Structure 1
Amino acid sequence: MKILVSADMEGATGVTWPADVLPGTPEWERCRPMFTSDVNAAVLGFLDGGADRVLVNEAHWSMRNLLLEQLDERAEMITGRHKTLSMVEGVQGGDVDGVAFVGYHTGAGTEGVLAHTYLANSITGVWLNGVRASEGLLNAHVVAEYGVPVVLVTGDDLTCRDAGVYAPDAVTVAVKDHVSRYAAVCRTPARTAADIRSAAKQAASLAVRKDPVRGGPYTVELEFDAEHLAMYATLVPGVERSGERRVAYTSDAMYEGIRTFKTVTTVVSSAVEEQYG
C-alpha cells in the first residue's frame, strides 16, 4: 500500500498568523517543527495501518518547509516548487492507493483560520461547477481522476467540515478550532500528534484504489478583489470575463483544470501592487 501525503501549512498545529507560514520569519521557524510533527504523525499512523510506502509532497508556499530530518526514515519526500500537479504531485504515478490532506484549510472568502485559495489574498472566491471550492475540493477532483480516494484530512474544525463535501468517507482530525481568520483554540503538539497518528492508522483501511472518475467538463470561476486582476487573468488562453471582478474557464478534465488554475494564479499574482493590490 502506498500513501501520498499532501502537506500544507496553514492548517498545521499552532498556526494562526500570516508570519507563522511566511518562509524566513522567526514565527515560521518556530512553527516548522509543529508542521513536521503533524506530517510525521500521519506517516507513522499509515505505517501502523499497513502502508509500506509513504510519499510526502510539500504543498506550502516555497514547498521547502518540512524538516526532512525529523520524518520517519521509511518515508520519502518531494520538496521544492514547479511540479506538474503542484499540491498533489506524485498521484499521477499510478501506484498511489490513498491520499491524505494534512495541514489543509478552508477556501477564499469563507470562515476558517488563514482561509484562502492558492493566493493569500486577491482571490475572494472560487467555484467549481457552481460549488464553492477550497483547495481540498479542487485537489480531491484531481486525485479522483487517478482513482485515488482522499482518506485523511487534518486542519481546523471548519476544514474538517469542508472535507465532508468532497471526501465524506475520510477520517478527519481538527488540530484547532476556528475563532477568526487569525485566531484559534489550539491543541498541543503532543496531543495532535497522537490524534493524527491514530486517525491515519484508521484511514489506512480506506486506501483502496477505485475506478478513475471522468466527471468533466469542469467550469472554474474565480472572483478577485480588484477589477484589473480579472482583466489580467484573461491573458491565459481560454479564460474569459464572467463579471466585473470574475473570470471563468472550462476544462474537460481536472488535470487541465488545476493546471490552468495554477497558471491563472501565477499570472494574477504578478499584477498585484504592494499598496493597492
Structure 2
Amino acid sequence: MRILISADMEGATGVTWPADCEPGNPAWQRCRSMFTSDVNAAIAGFFDGGATSVLVNEAHATMRNLLLEDLDPRGEMLTGRHKDLTMVEGVQHRDVTGVAFVGYHTGAGAEGVLAHTYLANSITGVWVDGVAASEGYLNSLVAAEFGVPVTLVTGDDLTCKDAQGYAPGAVTATVKDCVTRYAAVCRPPAVTSKLIREAAKQAAVLAVREEPVTGRTFEVAVDFDASHLAAAVAAVPTVRRTDVRRVAFTADTAFAMIRTFKTVTTVAAAAVEVNYG
C-alpha cells in the first residue's frame, strides 16, 4: 500500500491568516512546524493502518514549506515547483493506491479559512460542469482518472464539509473551526496530531485502487476580479473569454483540465499589477 499525501498549508493546524503561510514571514516560519506536525501525523496513521510507503507531495505556494529535517523518516518528500500534476504529482504512478489531502481549504468565493482556488484573490470562482470547484474537487477529478481514491481530507470544518461532495467515502479530520476567512477556533498541535493520526489509520483501509474514470469531458469556467485578467488568459490556446471577467475552456481529460487550469492561473498571476490587481 503506497499513499500519496498532497500537503497544502492554509488548512494546517494554527494557520488563520496570510502571513501564516506566505514564505519568508516570521509567522510562516513558526507555522511550518505545525504544518509538518500535521503531515507527520498522517504518515504515522497510514503506517499504523498498514501502509508500506508514503510519498508527501509539497503542494503549497513555493512547494518548499515542510521541514524535511523533521519529517517522519518513514516518509519521502517531493518538494519544489513545476510538476506535471502540481498538487497531486505522483498520483499518475501505478503503485499509488490512495491519496490524502492534508491541510486543504475551501474554494474561491466560499466561506472558509483562507478560502481560494490557486490564486489568493484574483480568482473569485471556479466551476467544473457548473459545480463550484475547490482545489480538493479539482484534484479529486485528476486522482479519479488514474483510479486513485481520496482517502483522507484534513482542514477546517468547512473544508471537511466540502470534501463530502467530491469524496463522500473519505475520512475527514477537522483541525480548526472557521469563524471568518482570517479567523478560526484552533486546536493545538498535540490535539490535532492525535486526531489526524487516528483518521489516517481509519483511511488506510480505503486505499484500494479503483477503475479509472475516463471518457468524460470537463467544461471549466473561471471568474476573475478584474477584466484585464480575463483578457490576458484568453491568449492561452483553447481558452475563450465568455464575459467581461470570465473565461472558459473544455478539456477531454482531467489531466488536460488541471494542466490548462494551471496555465490559466500562471498567466493571470503574471498579469496582476501591484496596487490595482
TM-score bucket (shorter structure): over 0.9
Question: What is the percent sequence identity of the aligned residues?
Answer: 70
1:227 is matched with: 227
> What pairs with 1:1-277 in structure 2 (closer than 5 Å)?
1-277=1-277
Deviations 1:49-103 (A, max 9, x none): 0000000000000000001111111110000111010000011111100000000
For 1:55, give the aligned amino acid. Answer: L
Compute the TM-score of the two structures, normalised by the length of structure 1: 0.99
Could you say what secondary structure the match of 1:92 adopts? coil
The one-letter code of the counterpart of 1:177 is D
Distance in 2, Cα, partners of 1:242 & 1:148: 33
**Counterparts of 2:215 and 2:21, CA distance in 1:** 34
1:30 deviation in Å?
0.4
CA distance in 2 between partners of 1:11 and 1:262 (Å): 21
TM-fit CA distance, 1:167: 0.2
Amino acid at match of 2:246: R
Q: Distance in 2 between matches of 1:261 and 1:94?
A: 24
Unaligned stretches of 5+ residues in structure 2: none
1:215 to partner: Cα distance: 4.9
| Distance in 1 of aligned mates of 2:215 and 2:25 | 42
- Number of residues of Structure 1 aligned to a counterpart in Structure 2: 277
Question: 2:109 is aligned with what amino acid?
Answer: G
Q: Deviations over 1:128-152 (max 9, x none)?
A: 0000000000000001011000000
- What's the TM-score, normalizing by structure 2? 0.99
**How many Å separate the matches in 2 of 1:161 and 1:123?**
22
Cα deviation per residue 1:242-271 (whole Å; 9 max; x = unaligned)? Answer: 111100000000100000000000001011
Structure 1 gap segments, 5+ residues each? none
SS of residue paired to 2:92: helix
Residue-by-residue CA offset, 1:198-226 (whole Å, 9 max, x unaligned)? 00000000001000001521011000000
State the SS of the aligned residue for 1:273: coil
